[in-house]
């Protein structure tokens, strides 16, 4: 991404920011998610900590849908012709990077979006998300804002009046807003979030269900930890048999899926055939729940492998490859490495030397950057994140290493982890939430220390 000079809207200091103006989802599908999540072209001021979106001309291109959209933010003093002249190079770039046989008529009739909101809505509409779906989400956000302004009996009454709107999607929105407010470290905000969370979990049907699922997940995790290395198919089957409810069965499935293989289900069926009456019916019901949940988990893993391959294809097109790896660092996990290893073996089998060379370069780059000094420092700060005093001491010890580039890279990692979290479920999401919470704390402390250092220098 090209870097440009901009001015922080808050402190007016000049800052250097990376800007994306061409969103070509045929070449880089991850950019679409950045646009939809509102994390595109975010300004992170190293001077005052301000974070916001930089208004800039943009082109959105989806070759599969033959969709070409433009957005040109209103700029004071610029005529329509001047704004169109600024857009022309971006449109030319989209066309020139396509092979001649893929240059179709729609490329010469771009559709102008009058606002960033209308651009996002149009992209969602093309994905089959209706205006009603978007309006429903906006209503939930507005309800969330109302709830945050109420306390006590007024809060309970508002929840009761709007319980039909409070569903799992509402809790996802709540989680996102809560994280942002808690990250401000404002005691009043934290108190509001805690009160609202307790009320939502206590006073709504879906809240009580979510709380029960969370409790059963914790109990299942504790049971599995107690067994530890002694976990076998037999002990797991016993745990399923003794599970007091469906939520516990689902929790065990989410935590111990690898142990639930073909042989495990064979043993399960043999056990059922030995029983009669209500005991037999109960175990059949539990087996059906397990089969459904394991199928869903397998589909999620398959989807993640498919996504990993898409990200891998994006990385090997990058120049240099290290840049592609760094831009997608938060997606590099065990499943990504599994997909990468599989693709390397496939390239060897097909004798595709060019692809094999680039895939091996991706692997060597990952190995190279897995423990560079900068990432070691981030890991060291994350380990100290639970103790403010210890964290501040660590930052002070490494003040010379905490440069603007370090802060920029830390901000990128934070944004990528936040994006990655949205795609996860179950224990994977919980782990990512813990990492994100620590990253946010480190990020705030580093920014504060950087600002103090600059003030002293001035």
Q: What are the two backbone dihedrals, phi and then psi, of residue 24, each rounded to the nearest 5 degrees? A: -105, 100
Residue 425 has pLDDT above 70, yes or no: no
Selected residue with higher pLDDT from 356 and 373:
356
Q: Give DSSP secondary structure letters for 38-53.
A: T-TTEEE-TTT--EEE
Residue 218's CB is within 10 A of a number of other CB atoms, namely: 11
Range of lowest pLDDT (44-58, 235-249, 308-322, 384-398): 44-58
Instruction: Classify residue 382 by burial, with Cβ atoms within 10 Å: 0-12, 13-18, 19+.
Output: middle
- The residues, ordered by sequence, that sit 6+ positions from 200 with a Cβ below 8 Å of its Cβ are 147, 159, 166, 171, 174, 207
Tell me what pLDDT residue 76 has. 47
Tell me what pLDDT residue 184 has. 63
Q: Could you report the per-residue pLDDT of 243-298, keeping only the tens digit for each?
A: 999 999 999 998 998 889 999 999 999 999 999 999 999 999 999 999 999 999 89
Residue 417 has pLDDT above 80, yes or no: no
- Average pLDDT for 381-409: 82
SS3 labels along 216-243: HHHHHHHHHHHHHHHCCHHHHHHHHHHC
Residue 410 CA to residue 360 CA, distance in Å, equals 26
Selected residue with higher pLDDT from 377 and 207:
207
Closest to 39 (Cα-Cα) out of 437, 454, 441, 418? 418
Residue 381 has pLDDT above 90, yes or no: no
Residue 372 has pLDDT above 70, yes or no: no
Tell me what pLDDT residue 82 has. 77
Partners of 68 in the beta sheet?
61
- Average pLDDT for 386-404: 83
Tell me what pLDDT residue 78 has. 64
Residue 9 has pLDDT above 60, yes or no: yes
Q: In what order do the strands lie in the sheet with 22-24?
A: 22-24, 58-62, 67-71, 111-113
Residue 213's CB is within 10 A of a number of other CB atoms, namely: 16
> Do the beta carbons of residue 321 and residue 362 sit within 8 Å?
yes
- The residues, ordered by sequence, that sit 6+ positions from 263 with a Cβ below 8 Å of its Cβ are 233
Q: How confident is the model at residue 185 (pLDDT cuts 50, 70, 90)?
A: low
Residue corresponding to tokens 């920011």 = 17
Question: Which secondary structure element, helix H or strand E, spans residue 24, and what is its range?
Answer: strand 22-24
Q: How confident is the model at residue 173 (pLDDT cuts 50, 70, 90)?
A: confident
Q: How far is CA 72 from CA 49, 189, 300, in A?
A: 27, 35, 38
Q: How far is CA 191 from CA 181, 185, 294, 438, 441, in A?
A: 10, 10, 38, 20, 18
SS3 assignment, position 374: helix
Q: How confident is the model at residue 421 (pLDDT cuts 50, 70, 90)?
A: low
The reported pTM is: 0.58
Selected residue with higher pLDDT from 382 and 7:
382
State the pairing for strand pair 22-24/42-44. Answer: unpaired
Q: How confident is the model at residue 437 (pLDDT cuts 50, 70, 90)?
A: confident
- Average pLDDT for 182-190: 73
Residue 288 CA to residue 266 CA, distance in Å, equals 13
Beta-sheet strands, E only, within 54-98: 58-62, 67-71
Q: Give DSSP secondary structure letters for 107-155.
A: GGSPEEESSHHHHHHHHHHHTT--HHHHHHHHHHHHHHHHHHT--HHHH
Q: Which residue pairs from 245-249 have beta carbons closer than 8 angstroms and sit at least 24 positions apart in sequence?
A: 245/216, 246/286, 246/289, 247/212, 247/213, 247/216, 248/216, 248/219, 248/220, 249/286, 249/289, 249/290, 249/293
Residue 87 CA to residue 387 CA, distance in Å, equals 49
- Average pLDDT for 373-394: 80
Question: Which secondary structure element, helix H or strand E, spans residue 25, and what is its range?
Answer: none
- Average pLDDT for 106-132: 87
Buried b vs exposed e over 173-184: b needs ≥16 C-beta within 10 Å? ebeebbbeebbe
Question: Which secondary structure element, helix H or strand E, spans residue 332, and what is its range?
Answer: none
Q: Could you report the per-residue pLDDT of 320-362, keeping only the tens digit for each?
A: 888 888 777 767 877 888 899 999 999 999 999 999 999 999 9
Residue 83 has pLDDT above 80, yes or no: no
Range of lowest pLDDT (94-98, 129-133, 325-329, 363-367): 325-329
Residue 301's CB is within 10 A of a number of other CB atoms, namely: 13
Tell me what pLDDT residue 456 has. 62
Q: How confident is the model at residue 167 (pLDDT cuts 50, 70, 90)?
A: very high
Tell me what pLDDT residue 15 has. 82
Tell me what pLDDT residue 444 has. 86
Tell me what pLDDT residue 205 has. 94
């Amino acid at each position: 991404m090209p870097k440009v000079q901009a001015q922080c809207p808050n402190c007016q200091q000049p800052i250097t920011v990376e800007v994306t103006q061409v969103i070509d989802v045929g070449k880089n599908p991850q950019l679409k998610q950045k646009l939809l999540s509102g994390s595109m072209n975010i300004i992170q001021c190293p001077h005052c900590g301000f974070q916001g979106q930089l208004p800039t001309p943009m082109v959105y291109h989806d070759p599969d849908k033959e969709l070409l959209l433009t957005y040109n933010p209103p700029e004071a003093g610029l005529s329509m012709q001047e704004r169109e002249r600024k857009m022309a190079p971006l449109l030319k770039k989209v066309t020139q990077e396509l092979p001649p046989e893929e240059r179709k008529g729609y490329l010469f009739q771009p559709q102008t979006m009058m606002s960033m909101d209308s651009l996002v809505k149009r992209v969602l509409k093309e994905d089959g998300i209706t205006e009603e779906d978007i309006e429903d989400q906006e209503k939930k956000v507005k309800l969330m804002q109302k709830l945050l302004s109420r306390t006590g009996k007024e809060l309970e009454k508002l929840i009761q009046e709007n319980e039909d709107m409070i569903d799992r999607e509402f809790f996802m929105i709540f989680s996102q807003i809560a994280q942002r407010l808690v990250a401000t470290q404002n005691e009043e905000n934290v108190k509001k979030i805690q009160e609202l969370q307790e009320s939502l979990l206590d006073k709504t049907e879906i809240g009580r269900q979510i709380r029960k699922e969370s409790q059963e997940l914790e109990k299942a995790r504790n049971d599995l930890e107690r067994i530890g290395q002694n976990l076998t198919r037999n002990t797991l089957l016993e745990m399923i048999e003794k599970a007091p409810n469906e939520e516990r069965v689902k929790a065990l499935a989410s935590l111990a899926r690898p142990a639930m293989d073909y042989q495990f289900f064979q043993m399960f069926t043999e056990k059922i055939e030995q029983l009669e009456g209500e005991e037999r019916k109960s175990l059949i019901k539990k087996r059906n729940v397990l089969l459904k949940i394991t199928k869903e988990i397998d589909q999620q893993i398959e989807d993640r492998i498919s996504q990993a391959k898409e990200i891998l294809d994006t990385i090997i097109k990058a120049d240099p490859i290290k840049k592609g790896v760094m831009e997608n660092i938060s997606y590099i996990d065990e499943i990504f490495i599994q997909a990468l290893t599989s693709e390397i073996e496939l390239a060897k089998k097909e004798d595709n030397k060019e692809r094999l060379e680039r895939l091996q370069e991706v692997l060597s780059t990952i190995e190279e950057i897995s423990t560079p000094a900068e990432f070691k420092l981030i890991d060291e700060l994350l380990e100290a994140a639970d103790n403010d005093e210890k964290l501040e001491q660590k930052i002070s010890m490494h003040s010379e290493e905490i440069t603007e580039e370090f802060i920029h890279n830390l901000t990128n990692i934070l944004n990528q982890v936040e994006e990655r979290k949205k795609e996860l479920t179950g224990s994977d999401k919980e782990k990512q939430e813990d990492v994100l919470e620590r990253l946010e704390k480190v990020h705030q402390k580093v920014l504060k220390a950087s600002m103090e250092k600059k003030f002293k220098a001035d």
